Amino acid sequence: MTDGTPLQHLIRGLPAAFAAAPRPTALDACPCCTRPAELSVLLHTPRERLTADELTYYATSVLNTVGSPADFRYFAPRILQLALTTELTVPDLESVGNKLARAGWQEWPEAGYLQRLLDALWVDVLHNADEWWDAEAVLCTLAAAGDRAPAAFTGRLAEWELLVAPVAVERLYEFTVSCGLEPQNAFWDKQSAPYQAFVDWLRGPGLQLAVESAILRVDDPTQLEQLITVHDILTT
């Protein structure tokens, strides 16, 4: 199959990538918070046939009142498929990223595949106008999932700063008009290196210079208006 973006290919490939993840035979759960029927559906329905409704409670509560890192590894590909296609809207994508980190995904055999998925997600944010992506929400998700080293996260910002695609300009315009120079996503860990890197980037000279450079080379009226608005916000 050749159609679709790299991210869409990776989303479709999640079941095969996680084929070796063992299917759980039981799920530890708080008896006060979980109905046996909910667990039975998870345990007896083929993973790729589980719906968003059937996974919502588990995806929201896993590693808190139900489940373990081992069974989350099994269900993670289906949760990611549904979350990245907006079929699963609860929990938020940022929460899914946090749970991946808590489960230790970087030690899973599928870690390389998941890293490619996360990288492709950010590329999609900057280039694909047909998707719903909120740039700050995705940045927050990537930080929660493990872009905790300054170099890893600042690399994402450096990609955005290039402003090579109209979508990247539009995402920056949307963010600054809505939030100014202060991240607003409630999922940010404000003590983390990624959060501070994001704030520093927004307020630093590098982004301002990048926007000024883009203004000089862009001739599309819509993009030009967006860039001028961003510049005004950055320099106010």
The pLDDT tens digits of the residues spanning 221-235 come to 999 999 999 999 999
Using CB atoms within 10 Å of the CB of residue 200, give its burial: 0 to 12 exposed, 13 to 18 middle, 19+ buried.
middle
The yes-or-no verdict on residue 1 having pLDDT over 50 is no
* Residue pLDDT, tens place only, 212-222: 999 999 999 99
| Higher-pLDDT residue of 152, 120 | 120
- The Cα-based distances of 28 to 21, 58, 66 in angstroms read 18, 11, 6
Return the pLDDT at 33.
Answer: 77
Q: In sequence order, which residues have a C-beta less than 8 Å from that of residue 162 and are 6 or more positions away?
A: 168, 210
Q: 């993009």: which residue's tokens?
A: 223
The answer to whether residue 66 scores a pLDDT higher than 50 is yes
Asked if 23 contacts 74 with a C-beta cutoff of 8 angstroms, the reply is yes
